[in-house]
Amino acid sequence: MSVHRDIRSPTQDCGECPIRHRAVCARCETDELAQLEQIKYYRSYQAGQTVIWSGDKMDFVASVVTGIATLTQTMEDGRRQMVGLLLPSDFVGRPGRSAAAYDVTATTDLVMCCFRRKPFEEMMASTPHIAHRLLEMTLDELDAAREWMLLLGRKTAREKISSLLAIIARRDASLKEPRADLGAITFDLPLTREEMADYLGLTLETVSRQMSALKRDGIITLDGKRHVTIPSVDALMEETGDDSDGGFLV
Amino acid sequence: MSVHRDIRSPTQDCGECPIRHRAVCARCETDELAQLEQIKYYRSYQAGQTVIWSGDKMDFVASVVTGIATLTQTMEDGRRQMVGLLLPSDFVGRPGRSAAAYDVTATTDLVMCCFRRKPFEEMMASTPHIAHRLLEMTLDELDAAREWMLLLGRKTAREKISSLLAIIARRDASLKEPRADLGAITFDLPLTREEMADYLGLTLETVSRQMSALKRDGIITLDGKRHVTIPSVDALMEETGDDSDGGFLV
DNA sequence: GATCTGCCTTGATACAGATCAACCAAGGAA
DNA sequence: TTCCTTGGTTGATCTGTATCAAGGCAGATC
């Protein structure tokens, strides 16, 4: 139990768990919640499978254990906007609300754990550090959403693509050992061109064109369609339009 | 104290306080927090005055008592995107974080109350219903941010303007007595054309043109530049691109 | 091996909204 | 009164991205 105590400490690794992500080790947290006997069941989804349909009851709380899910809003005429990425340790659900406004879909193979609703609410009251952590996570997501609003409202297509690549690269890099040498970074895109387009408020053609342009300009290298190498992180960051001093590894 | 107990009940009026907004009466909440001796001081700002500069320390928690503040992100070359509206009872601040990524500016004359940081955190732990309410508010803001992401990414200029007018009208209507007859609604725009543009990811010229177009088409009536009348809420909702069955008064 | 299907690329063209620029109206100061 | 400022409107033109359309490639299926 002791390794789980410091659940809020940033990028902490318990030393036993292979998953390490963002502010907390997801498995540790899940384990702790399981020990508190709050987890009702685990459930697996295949890539592409729908977790929640828009309009479904949302009377539950669940958390991503492994894999990636996306959160999408759709307009009547079919225009779609992705509004969130759910990564390991992220929560979905809104007990007390009757309906969801968006679809949740598995992008990769996905494992989620579902909580017992009533005990969860009691736990919220009785276990302050969990309640506090939920608030912190929600505030983080709000900050991320606000950064996306800037991207969606004011950035050019090239800046949007660069920003997305930078974000994925950063997340990917944070999973590996932090290295002094950030010369080159390589990763696989977890999204199709269409999903990227939905994320960025573009069409898939524009995404494809801008990826080609970045390749032509030497900002990225493509091996196949999904495998991306960034020879110079600095050069990529130049393209994002963001303040340059932001620092790549947070 | 008893009137403040049910602090989470939706759109509850304490019967003594002239301000009624969203899920809770802001003054009541502020009063309760004051009784808990958590409020450090109140402070007034004039319209246009900056509350927090981007990059300032954010080591505090504050809440809007009266007036409206905006939350804005700015890029190096001056492109600006509004990412939030702070209304009475909304909170800002993120104790534990060193710097803010955005400007907070008073749009109208503004009164805020600042909390004692340390006791606030203790209160978070010791007063579950306040912690829970903070989480609910943050989740509401996240939902609102996600709706804006759809607007910014996928809506046309006309749909953006209509959506903004609908949102302001809805908020304004919720401040008055709920009425069966929603035939016509009248209100004053709290934003300049430029602020509207920053909110919607447009230029002020496009905002002006689309306002003129909506006027020409009889969707709205303008008296001066700011005073708006909506003869038919249904007709306006048709223009927003949103699902029509959403219901105007939530 | 042939065909199919999902995902991606590239080209030609259209158009919504940005940009540049002139002007207007109201309010305040001199 | 006149000048000046602030916020808003409208017109002409430009341009970035959408749209429409035609392939291409790799893995799956027969």
ipTM of the complex: 0.85
Rg over alpha carbons for chain B, rounded to the nearest Å, is 19
Span B47-67, average pLDDT: 77
Domains parsed from chain A with CATH numbers: 2-151 (2.60.120.10), 156-246 (1.10.10.10)
Span A19-38, average pLDDT: 50
Q: Which residues of A touch B164 (CB under 8 A)?
A: none
The DSSP bridge partners found for residue B70 are B85, B105
**In chain B, which residue's Cα lies nearest the Cα of A8?**
B96
The gap between B158 CA and D16 C1' (Å) is 19
Q: How confident is the model at residue A17 (pLDDT cuts 50, 70, 90)?
A: very low
Q: How many Å apart are CA A63 and CA A115, to the nearest integer? A: 8
Nearest Cβ partner for B145 among A101, A102, A142: A142
* pLDDT (0 to 100) of residue A19: 35
Could you give the dihedral angle defined by the CA atoms of residues B181, B183, B184 and B190, in that order, rounded to the nearest 10 degrees?
70
Q: Which residues of A touch B250 (CB under 8 A)?
A: none
SS3 (DSSP) at A94? coil
* pLDDT (0 to 100) of residue B110: 85
Span A205-217, average pLDDT: 96
Q: In this complex, do A128 and B132 lie within 8 Å of one another by their Cβ atoms? A: no
Tell me the nearest-neighbour CA distance from A40 into chain B, angstroms.
Answer: 22
The gap between B193 CA and D29 C1' (Å) is 59
Q: In this complex, do A79 and B154 lie within 8 Å of one another by their Cβ atoms? A: yes
* pLDDT (0 to 100) of residue A179: 52
The gap between A221 CA and C8 C1' (Å) is 16
Q: How many Å apart are CA B109 and CA B132, to the nearest integer? A: 29
* pLDDT (0 to 100) of residue B196: 96
Q: Could you say which nucleotides of strand C lie within 7 A of any protein CB atom?
A: 7-12, 16-21
Q: Is strand C in 7 Å reach of the CB of A237? A: no
Q: How confident is the model at residue B119 (pLDDT cuts 50, 70, 90)?
A: low
Q: Could you say which nucleotides of strand D lie within 7 A of any protein CB atom?
A: 7-12, 16-21
Q: Which residues of B touch A128 (CB under 8 A)?
A: 124-126, 128, 131
Span B197-216, average pLDDT: 97
Which of B83, B86, B199, B242 has the most A C-beta neighbours within 10 Å, making it the best mutation to test the interface with A? B83
- Please say if the pLDDT value at position B57 is more than 90: no
Single-letter residue type at B187: F
Q: What mean pLDDT, rounded, does chain B reach?
A: 77
SS3 (DSSP) at A195? helix
- Please say if the pLDDT value at position B106 is more than 80: yes
Q: Is strand C in 7 Å reach of the CB of A217? A: no
Q: How many Å apart are CA A69 and CA A112, to the nearest integer? A: 10
Is B228:B220 a contact under the CB 8 Å cutoff?
yes
* pLDDT (0 to 100) of residue A50: 84
Which of B146, B160, B240, B245 has the most A C-beta neighbours within 10 Å, making it the best mutation to test the interface with A? B146
Query: Residue B26 half-sphere exposure, CB side, CA atoms within 13 Å?
Result: 23
Tell me the nearest-neighbour CA distance from B178 into chain A, angstroms.
Answer: 22
Q: How many Å apart are CA A95 and CA A160, to the nearest integer? A: 34
* pLDDT (0 to 100) of residue B222: 93
Q: Is strand D in 7 Å reach of the CB of B205? A: yes
Least confident of A23-27, A212-216, B203-207: A23-27
Q: Other CB atoms closer than 10 Å to residue B249's CB: what's the count?
A: 11
Q: How confident is the model at residue A115 (pLDDT cuts 50, 70, 90)?
A: confident
The gap between A110 CA and D19 C1' (Å) is 35
Q: Which residues of B touch A143 (CB under 8 A)?
A: 101
* pLDDT (0 to 100) of residue B164: 96
DSSP string, A17-76: -S--BTTB-HHHHHHHHHHTT-EEEEEEE-TT-EEE-TTSB----EEEEES-EEEEEE-T
Span A193-202, average pLDDT: 96
* pLDDT (0 to 100) of residue A7: 30
**Would you list which residues of chain A are within 8 Å, Cβ to Cβ, of chain B?**
71, 73, 75-77, 79-81, 83-84, 94, 101-102, 124-126, 128-129, 131-132, 134-135, 138-139, 141-143, 145-150, 152-154, 200-201, 241-243
Span A101-127, average pLDDT: 78
**Would you list which residues of chain B are within 8 Å, Cβ to Cβ, of chain A?**
71, 73, 75-77, 79-81, 83-84, 94, 101-102, 124-126, 128-129, 131-132, 134-135, 138-139, 141-143, 145-150, 152-154, 200-201, 241-243
Q: What mean pLDDT, rounded, does chain A reach?
A: 77
Q: How many Å apart are CA A241 and CA B79, to the nearest integer? A: 10
* pLDDT (0 to 100) of residue A158: 97
Q: How many Å apart are CA B87 and CA B55, to the nearest integer? A: 22
**In chain A, which residue's Cα lies nearest the Cα of B142?**
A142
Nearest Cβ partner for A149 among B128, B129, B148: B148
